[in-house]
Each structure stands twice: as structure tokens, then as C-alpha cells.
């Protein structure tokens, strides 16, 4: 029996709980975000609630009260999730996948999907609690970034393991993230690739890509049911240290292409619910913090632009520290968005379209150990990115698969030229992670003057030569590389006039937008 005093206390407690603005169909979920001291996943007697932690339904964001309690609206197709604050951790499974959510789908997913979705969850529980554990999170940390591993078969998954996973095992990175296209349409590969990435031994976050959708779904609403079953909410957020990461689903599925369930059309857009989520979450984030957006399709590409991009920029405009990450295009590029693109922030917004793990879809002639070179159509090798964070500052370093860390460029120049024609002899440098903010210089010999090179969009000659070599070695369509693009990270210059006859070294010095300096050399004969 509840006494009058305790009853009044309960009324006061629930009256003080934050309530989401949207009330969907009139249902509300409530529970406690608690400090799970013994990490057993259950709330024990002395596992007290954690105050000021954000909980979301994918649109609305509420914060827990002084007892760790929350209350938020839900519908019959809702994923509730806690937004991990800095200095705390959520549970992870055996493969390092964070478990920070509760799926509420009373009827479950449609049963006619080619790949299983979510089983019926039944009525809404009376209470949904979220455990958190304390962990040390320094202001300086590292993260690993994959994009588009995209294996279509287990054989291609083995290539991913051999080419990339095996060299990353044992990393000191705090966590990793894959920017979509985890697999290539065969969603039964979710579990094998999770097990592979799990060998790295760190928590791993995942963005949904267009090849991670169930193409037997009738509508966009059900296209991500299999992804949700395995990874949880396609849109969510988490903090590490003082950096805030927002994961977005910018792939909109437009329905079946035919009755066979083959890949249907999709487009790039950020939904109104996601915009509301970003805006609501950022109300809880101090303005001086770094905000990192992660999505699959970049804001702009040769054949697309993301709908509602400007609305997202409007939400971010008052924030001095933002960056976004994407994959999808299978070439690497940095773009900077200013007022002409609708971003009126204190400084242009940087988006990295990242190197892909699969490169050109695991195509190209195999090397001596049977792994295709998979060079991307911008001329850069396949690989991954290493992100370094320090407070609200960040830097990104390109890492080529199975190459030394200083392999950051290709120098494309003849091996011999005459002294008389040197001034007309071009030197091209493909700086794999280069951007408009990169400075590229070269000199001939150790005492030569440094000559600035000019950035110029061209097809990479090294890549064009690779296409020709691959056609000679493997004249089968399976090995055909895609056509070259106008590479956004090529620099061009010419040798100095009338160099002395003999063997010389062309030295190239690259200074990137973060102040990182890289060197490479090319030996040439002057005849």
C-alpha cells in the first residue's frame, strides 16, 4: 500500500521528468539510466541513476532527472536509445557492437523480407533501463574509419580480412566506425563481417549504406529492418571525451524495382525526423565542442546531392567546430562548404568522402598473394582513415592497405629526360588525401629550390596504366576496373630548366591542412 506522503512524492517525481515534444500515438516509455557498477547489465540495489543523460526516440531528446529517470513518447515502430555521454561506456557484444537501445516493434518486421528483420517485441515494457559504465576518456584519442568494405561473397570478405583487418588488430584506437555498405546486398554477411571486425578488439559503430538495405521491402520504412535487428537505430549519437558523434541515415529507398526484388532505386536525403533529432541533441551540447557527422552518401557527388543539406547546415551554422564523414563514391575527396553552399558558420564545413576499404570493389589484377590491387578511380589505393582528436580539434590521415604509413602519394614522371627538354617535362603528384588546403612542392636534388605545384583535375595516368595492365593480364569482365574520374587530388609542375646531366632525385614535400608533412622521392636520369 502506498502512503499519502509517498504517493505525493511519486507524483512530484514524474511531474519533474522531461517529456518529449512529440507524443506519436499517446504511448510513453520510461525508465532509468543507471551506473552499472558490476557491469552485469542489471540494475542492482546500489546502481544509482545517472543525471543529465540524453535519451531519444530518433526525433525527440530528453535528459534524465537527478535520479536518472526519463520519460519519452513512443510509437509502434520506435527504437529508444541512450546517447552515451563522455566518460561513460555502453555494453558491447562479443564483436564490439554497442548495445545502447531498445527496439519497440510489437508486431515485428514484415515476414516476407528476403533477410530476417526484428521479431515481435510484444507490449511496451513498464520500464526500460539503460546501463552505463564509467571509463576513462582522455581529450586526445584516436578512431579508425572504414568505408564500404562491401563484400558480395565470403571470398571477398576474406580479401577484406587479409588486406585490412589483420593489420589493424591490436590498434590503440578508442573505437572504430564503418561508413556504410558494410556488405554488398547479401545481408547474411552481416554476422561474418561483424565477427571479422570484432577481431580488432575495440567498440565498433556502423552507418547504414545503400547496399545494407533489404531490397525486398515494399517501402523505405521497412528497408532497414535487417540492419536494425543487427545494429539498432540507423540514426543515433554518442560522445567520446568532449567530441560528439551523430550518425545519420541519408539513404532513402524508393521501393522495389521489380517482383524479383532486385536492387531498387534510392536517393540521398536527410529526413525531417533526423533534422529534428540533430537540432534537439545539439541543444544539450556546449557550443565549443567538436561535432562529427557520419553518413554514407556525401552531400554532393557527380550524380547526386543530399536533399535537406541546407536545412542541416542551418542547424550547424552557429557551431565553430564541425566536420562530416561519408563514403559511397569509391574515391577520396575533401570538400569545404561555405555561404555559397548554404553554410553560414564561422568557418567552412569540411566533409571527407573517405577512402574505401574495398577500393574499386575488390577489382583489379591480384598481387603475389592473390589480393587485387583495387585502386580507386581517383588513383588512390584502397585503405582506411585514422582520425586523431584533441579537444575540439581533429586531423585525418590516409592509410593505404598493407602499405607503410608514409605511403601518401604517387609521383608520376618519366625515368629519363634530356636537359634541353626538362623545363617542359611534367611531374604529376597524386596526394591521396589532398585537398584545396594542401601545399605540394618539389625540388630536383637536395640543394634545388622548392617549386610549388598546382592542383589540377585530371585522370590519373597511373590508374589509366593499371587499367591497361589489368586488361592484358585478366581479359575477363570480372576484373575490369571502373573508368577513371577527374581526380580531385592531383598536382602538376615541370622540372627546372637545363639541369645538369646525370642521375637526380625529385623530392616532393606535401603539407596537408593539419600541418602534417610527408615526403616522397622519384629517381630520374637527365641525359
- Per-residue pLDDT reduced to its tens digit, 354-388: 999 999 999 998 899 999 999 999 999 999 999 99
pTM here is: 0.92
User: DSSP code of 479?
Assistant: G
Residue holding cell 554532393? 300
What pLDDT does 8 receive? 31
The span from the CA of 378 to the CA of 331, in Å, is 6
Regarding whether 108 and 13 lie in a shared domain, the answer is yes
Residues 92 and 235 in one domain: no
**Which of 108, 126, 351 minimizes the C-alpha distance to 250?**
351
Last residue of some domain: 343, 374, 400? 400
**Residues 218, 305 share a domain:** yes
378 and 278 belong to one structural domain: yes
- 235 lies in a domain? yes
Which tens digit of pLDDT belongs to each residue from 416-459? 999 999 999 999 999 999 999 999 999 999 889 999 999 999 99
Query: Does residue 290 sit in the same domain as residue 330?
Result: yes
| Locus of grid cell 595492365 | 469
Report the DSSP pairing between strands 426-431 and 439-444: unpaired
Residue 169 in contact with residue 71, Cβ under 8 Å? Answer: no
pLDDT the model gives residue 282? 98
Please report, for the domain that includes residue 125, its CATH number: 2.60.40.1120
* Domain extent for 493: 409-526
If asked whether residues 440 and 318 sit together in one domain, one would say: no
pLDDT band at 3 (very low <50, low <70, confident <90, very high): very low
Q: Is the residue at 9 inside a domain?
A: yes
Q: Are residues 209 and 294 located together in one domain of the fold? A: yes
Instruction: Tell which of 132, 164, 188 closes a domain.
Output: 132
Q: Which residues pair with 62 in a beta bridge?
A: 55
Average pLDDT across the chain, whole number: 91
258 with 218, same domain: the answer is yes
Residue 465 per-residue DSSP state: H
- Could you tell me if 207 and 92 lie in one domain? no
Q: Name the domain count of the chain.
A: 3
Q: If you ran DSSP here, which 8-state letter would residue 339 be given?
A: G
By percentage, how much of the chain surpasses pLDDT 90?
82
Residues 387 and 326 in one domain: yes
> Which triple of cell numbers denotes residue 142?
584516436
Q: What confidence score (pLDDT) does residue 21 get? A: 43
Find the length of the chain. Answer: 527
User: Do 396 and 413 belong to one domain?
Assistant: no
User: CATH number of the domain that 274 lies in?
Assistant: 3.60.21.10
* Whole-number pLDDT of residue 252: 93
Say yes or no: 377 and 230 in one domain: yes
pLDDT value of position 258: 53
pLDDT in tens, 392-414: 999 999 999 999 999 999 999 99
Q: Which of 400, 420, 435 is the last residue of a domain?
A: 400
Residue-wise pLDDT tens digits, 115-171: 999 999 999 999 999 999 999 999 999 999 999 999 999 999 999 999 999 999 999
Q: Does position 257 have pLDDT exceeding 60, yes or no?
A: no
The pLDDT, as a whole number, for residue 471 is 76
Q: Report the SS3 class of residue 157.
A: helix
137 inside domain: no
Amino acid at each position: 500500500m502506498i502512503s499519502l506522503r509517498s504517493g505525493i512524492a511519486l507524483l512530484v517525481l514524474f511531474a519533474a521528468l522531461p517529456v518529449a515534444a512529440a507524443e506519436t500515438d499517446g504511448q510513453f516509455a520510461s525508465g532509468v539510466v543507471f551506473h552499472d557498477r558490476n557491469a552485469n547489465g542489471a540494475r542492482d540495489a546500489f546502481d544509482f541513476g545517472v543525471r543529465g543523460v540524453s535519451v531519444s526516440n530518433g526525433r525527440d531528446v530528453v535528459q534524465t532527472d537527478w535520479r536518472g529517470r526519463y520519460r519519452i513518447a513512443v510509437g509502434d515502430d520506435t527504437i529508444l536509445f541512450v546517447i552515451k555521454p563522455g566518460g561513460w561506456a555502453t555494453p558491447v557484444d562479443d564483436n564490439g557492437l554497442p548495445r545502447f537501445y531498445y527496439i519497440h516493434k510489437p508486431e515485428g518486421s514484415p515476414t516476407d523480407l528476403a533477410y530476417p528483420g526484428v521479431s515481435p517485441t510484444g507490449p511496451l515494457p513498464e520500464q526500460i533501463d539503460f546501463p552505463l559504465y564509467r571509463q576513462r576518456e582522455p581529450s586526445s584519442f584516436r578512431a579508425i574509419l572504414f568505408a564500404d568494405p562491401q563484400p558480395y561473397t565470403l571470398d571477398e570478405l576474406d580479401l577484406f580480412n587479409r588486406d585490412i583487418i589483420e593489420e589493424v588488430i591490436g590498434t590503440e584506437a578508442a573505437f572504430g566506425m564503418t561508413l556504410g555498405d558494410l556488405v554488398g546486398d547479401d545481408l547474411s554477411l552481416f554476422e561474418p563481417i561483424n565477427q571479422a571486425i570484432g577481431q580488432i578488439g575495440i567498440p565498433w559503430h556502423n552507418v547504414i549504406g545503400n547496399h545494407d538495405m533489404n531490397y525486398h521491402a515494399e517501402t523505405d520504412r521497412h528497408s532497414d529492418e535487417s540492419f536494425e535487428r543487427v545494429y539498432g537505430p540507423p540514426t543515433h549519437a554518442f560522445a567520446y571525451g568532449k567530441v560528439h558523434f551523430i550518425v545519420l541515415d541519408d539513404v532513402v529507398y524508393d521501393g522495389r524495382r521489380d517482383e524479383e526484388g532486385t536492387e531498387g532505386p534510392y536517393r540521398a536525403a536527410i529526413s525531417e525526423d533526423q533534422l529534428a533529432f540533430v537540432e534537439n541533441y545539439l541543444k544539450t551540447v556546449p557550443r565549443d565542442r567538436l561535432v562529427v557527422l557520419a553518413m554514407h552518401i556525401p552531400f554532393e557527388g557527380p550524380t547526386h546531392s543530399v536533399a535537406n543539406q541546407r536545412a542541416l547546415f542551418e542547424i550547424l551554422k552557429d557551431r565553430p567546430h564541425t566536420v562530416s564523414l561519408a563514403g559511397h563514391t569509391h574515391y577520396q575527396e575533401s570538400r569545404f562548404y561555405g555561404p555559397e553552399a548554404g553554410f553560414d558558420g564561422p568557418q567552412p564545413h569540411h566533409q571527407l568522402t573517405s577512402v574505401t576499404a574495398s577500393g574499386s570493389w575488390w577489382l583489379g589484377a591480384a598481387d603475389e598473394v592473390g589480393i587485387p590491387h583495387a585502386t580507386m578511380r581517383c588513383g588512390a589505393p584502397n585503405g582506411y582513415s585514422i582520425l586523431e582528436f584533441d579537444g575540439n580539434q581533429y586531423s585525418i590521415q590516409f592509410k593505404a592497405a598493407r602499405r607503410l604509413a608514409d605511403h601518401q602519394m604517387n609521383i608520376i614522371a618519366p625515368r629519363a629526360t634530356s636537359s634541353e627538354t626538362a623545363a617542359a617535362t611534367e611531374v604529376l603528384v597524386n596526394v591521396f588525401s589532398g585537398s584545396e588546403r594542401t601545399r605540394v612542392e618539389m625540388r630536383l636534388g637536395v640543394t634545388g629550390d622548392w617549386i610549388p605545384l598546382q592542383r589540377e583535375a585530371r585522370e590519373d595516368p597511373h590508374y589509366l596504366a593499371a587499367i591497361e595492365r589489368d586488361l592484358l593480364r585478366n581479359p575477363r569482365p570480372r576484373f575490369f576496373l571502373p573508368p577513371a574520374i577527374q581526380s580531385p587530388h592531383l598536382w602538376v609542375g615541370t622540372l627546372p630548366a637545363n639541369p645538369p646531366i646525370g642521375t637526380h632525385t625529385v623530392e616532393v614535400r606535401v603539407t596537408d591542412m593539419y600541418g602534417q608533412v610527408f615526403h616522397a622521392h622519384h629517381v630520374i636520369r637527365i641525359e
